[in-house]
Structure 1
Amino acid sequence: MNPHKKLLIIGFVWPEPQSSAAGGRMMQLISLLQADGFDITFASPAQDSDFMVDLAEYGVTKAAIALNSSSFDAFIIDLDPDVVLFDRFMIEEQFGWRVAENCPRAIRLLDTEDLHCLRTARQKAFKENRTFQLHDLLVEEVAKREIASILRCDLSLIISGFEMNLLQEVFKIDPALLFYLPFLVDEISEEDLEKLPSFEERSNFVFIGNFLHEPNWNTVQYLKETIWPLIRKDFPEAVLDVYGAYPSQKVLQLHQPKNGFYINGRAADATEVVKNARVVLAPIRFGAGLKGKLLEAMQCGTPSVTSTTGAEAMHADWHWNGFITDDVQEFSKKAIALYQDEKIWKQAQQNGIEIIRNCYQKDSFSGKLLDVIHSLIKDPEAHRLHNFMGSLLQHHTLKSTKYMAKWIEAKNNN
């Protein structure tokens, strides 16, 4: 236990665990660090939203902060945190130099969520109708910003094993600056399994995902235009329920009940929706990180059919919770087989439980992370001494970003 230690989390947005996997991960981090005795303040420059959690209910202090304002300097000097966690590299760019200048001993952690440069480069390759290559990352502007942010921080939390390897092999990041931290979940017991709806009690295919996230919108388009017609051709009674927070008008226009394609908007309870569906469809064509929707499917005992991008780094060498394919004809056939054959379905469900037990157990990662954080708090200088590139970037960023921010602040005050 680490009583009386103070943690400041600076959020890109206020946590919405019912809207996105990123919101769920943030609440996992809060729970883990709070259990270790940290007093937590969550600050963000974002507007309040209707679906954000009530942080006070979790014993977390909420603080609104402003971009490009020296009011943050006074705020952080007064708070004097031991650890600052930046939610995504854009937040570190905005506030990291202020933290370094005003609280130099505070440990700076970065939660990347997923590698934005990987997602961006893959999306560009997809839009340009070409195969993504790892060297695309080396010319990606977002990569230069994101890697600089990782180097400036004492430790970055990386959600995907694929991204851990990429950072070390392509960008030559020192492993001491990285910590592999996938989604963290509790063990699923036999009793939990017995409470789940059975094969016969479930119906319909389902897709679920936040529509502010471009890969989700693209996936739904792909389902509607390419994959769903193939499924309906061989299985005319099939129904697909699409759920997701923040659907735009273009998403809602895909609603077509006569073809069994239902756009249902935000799910009141995503877990209940997935638990009562028979199969999750997720033909994701670009993206990065881990797919919260696919882990949630496993937790709900719901098999899935996904792409190689969807399943990337999610299951180690364990058999998938259903099928993985990038071929549309095969995707359609496997989806129907999984839906109609109880034996295949039950085996897929069991595979998902094995993946959770072997890849996502909270106890396998939480203790190690806390040990690293405690060690950093004890002697940050020893750690930073070995990160010359980080101190170099910190030095130059402090100068350039500081004067840009002061110029913007002066402009805003006129």
Structure 2
Amino acid sequence: MNQLKKLLIIGFVWPEPKSSAAGGRMMQLISIFKEKGFEITFASAAQDSDFMIDLAEFGVEKKSIELNSSSFDDFIAGLNPDVVLFDRFMIEEQFGWRVIENCPKAIRILDTEDLHCLRTARQKAFKENRNFELPDLLSEEVAKREIASILRCDVSLMISEFEMDILKNVFKINEDLLFYLPFLVDKMNEEELQKLPSFEERKNFVFIGNFLHEPNWNTVQYLKEAIWPFIKKDFPEAVLEVYGAYPSQKVLQLHQPKNGFFIMGRAGDANEIVKKSRIVLAPIRFGAGLKGKLLEAMQCGTPSATTTIGSESMHANLPWNGFIEDNPEEFSKKAIALYQDENLWKQAQKKGITIINECYQKSKYSAQLISLVNSLLINSERHRLHNFMGNLLQHHAFKSTMYMSKWIEAKNKN
């Protein structure tokens, strides 16, 4: 009888699928490996939160670990996982060398979430009031760390094809080190669409986003200052409800019921809220990766209004389930038309179902991921031999990171 393969996930935070798309993404990964019979341990140095998921309910062992501590060495040597998945490059930086030292044969997978250097460079360009250009990435400090982490791992999971192209064409990363894995959902059909609330049963515009994520705060600010005045001028009865985990005081201060602009706080059940709303507004101006809120809108049969950045890599060449517009006045006009025109709304709704079924099929991508992992488990030596730059970086980073970590550990003991 074959022994169960062991997967260790080292998390940046404990998963909160109801608070962020990143939490939802992590639970999708857990479900894929669980369905294929992996024994999963989820470890993190993060503090527990009131909203983290109960991993035990999913048959996942939870383990609290410490940063810069040799106690992790004893833990991972005892566990001896076949596969280690790092949740974002910062986690690989912190624990990667310890994994290599104690479990050199373990396959190392990096889940990038999104390309952090792209998000950072776009945000910087936005704040400096200039256009972002791809060569900007080459001078971005975080890019050096992120690319080094990608090279040190056996494979990196990429959520966006646009970002895969950046890695291959701008940073010259070998495509053998990259694997495209978008959000994964089940197929939808017309019958399921009929069970969702109808056009008449829905009301209001809605925005949902975790406010620890800077692009979400910026989007709400933009809605309030640049878009909502246009919408209210032509559609005085309009109401926008803004939901999101961890709203700061500056977010709460935008609450203006007299103007139809409501800051609602954390969503109890985001899915139910989006199903009852008529349109999702998401005029995102900078960021990276795929936007979980826009895929969720499609699943809820709710058309959405977004920007070029918001829709990036989300719909292949298929028509959007609503519209894509970067000009605030045009955005407002189209949002009102989509809200008021039932035929336009129903057409947009169906386009969302097509996008889901063409671009996000769980069965397709989960099978490919497990096939890749099994191949790496068999051929890891050959795979690593051809990743010379990764070996080079591993050699030097191993030493520098190891000595820095040991110095911090010694300092903490004194």
What band does the TM-score fall into relative to the shorter chain? Answer: over 0.9
Counterpart position of 1:168: 168
CA contact (8 A) 1:2 1:36 kept: no
Q: Does 1:13 align with 2:18?
A: no
Corresponding letter in the other structure for 2:244 = G
Counterpart position of 1:385: 385
Counterpart position of 1:65: 65
What 5-or-longer segments of structure 1 have no aligned partner?
A: none
Q: CA deviation at 1:195?
A: 1.1
CA contact (8 A) 1:3 1:36 kept: no
Corresponding letter in the other structure for 1:319 = P
CA contact (8 A) 1:15 1:23 kept: yes
Q: CA deviation at 1:190?
A: 2.5
Counterpart position of 2:227: 227
Counterpart position of 1:398: 398
Corresponding letter in the other structure for 1:187 = K
Q: CA deviation at 1:110?
A: 0.2
Q: CA deviation at 1:234?
A: 0.2
Structure 2 distance, partners of 1:408, 1:46, is 18
Q: CA deviation at 1:2?
A: 7.4
Structure 2 distance, partners of 1:119, 1:2, is 43
Corresponding letter in the other structure for 2:412 = N
Q: CA deviation at 1:364?
A: 1.8
Corresponding letter in the other structure for 2:267 = A
Structure 2 distance, partners of 1:96, 1:357, is 36
Identity %: 77
Structure 2 distance, partners of 1:95, 1:133, is 33
For residues 159-198 of structure 1, the C-alpha deviation after alignment (integer angstroms, 9 at most, x for no partner) is 0010011100000000000000000000112232111000
Structure 1 distance, partners of 2:189, 2:345, is 19
Q: Does 1:43 align with 2:43?
A: yes
Counterpart position of 1:105: 105
Corresponding letter in the other structure for 2:320 = W
Counterpart position of 1:150: 150
Equivalent runs, 1:123-202 vs 2, <5 Å: 123-202=123-202
Partner SS state of residue 85, structure 1? strand
For residues 124-171 of structure 1, the C-alpha deviation after alignment (integer angstroms, 9 at most, x for no partner) is 000000000101100000000000000000000000010011100000
Counterpart position of 1:26: 26
* Count, aligned residues: 414
Structure 2 distance, partners of 1:49, 1:3, is 34
Counterpart position of 1:316: 316
For residues 11-70 of structure 1, the C-alpha deviation after alignment (integer angstroms, 9 at most, x for no partner) is 000000000000000000000001111000000000000000000000000000000000
What 5-or-longer segments of structure 2 have no aligned partner?
A: none
Counterpart position of 1:334: 334
CA contact (8 A) 1:3 1:38 kept: no
CA contact (8 A) 1:2 1:37 kept: no
Partner SS state of residue 382, structure 1? helix
Structure 1 distance, partners of 2:3, 2:142, is 38
Corresponding letter in the other structure for 1:85 = L
Structure 2 distance, partners of 1:395, 1:270, is 45
Q: CA deviation at 1:379?
A: 2.2
Corresponding letter in the other structure for 2:30 = I
Deviating 4+ runs (over 6 angstroms): none
Q: Give the root-mean-square deviation of aligned CA atoms.
A: 0.9
Q: CA deviation at 1:84?
A: 0.1
Counterpart position of 2:277: 277
CA contact (8 A) 1:243 1:263 kept: yes
Structure 2 distance, partners of 1:39, 1:155, is 20
Counterpart position of 1:344: 344
Corresponding letter in the other structure for 1:311 = S
Partner SS state of residue 53, structure 1? coil
Structure 1 distance, partners of 2:235, 2:354, is 30
Corresponding letter in the other structure for 2:295 = L
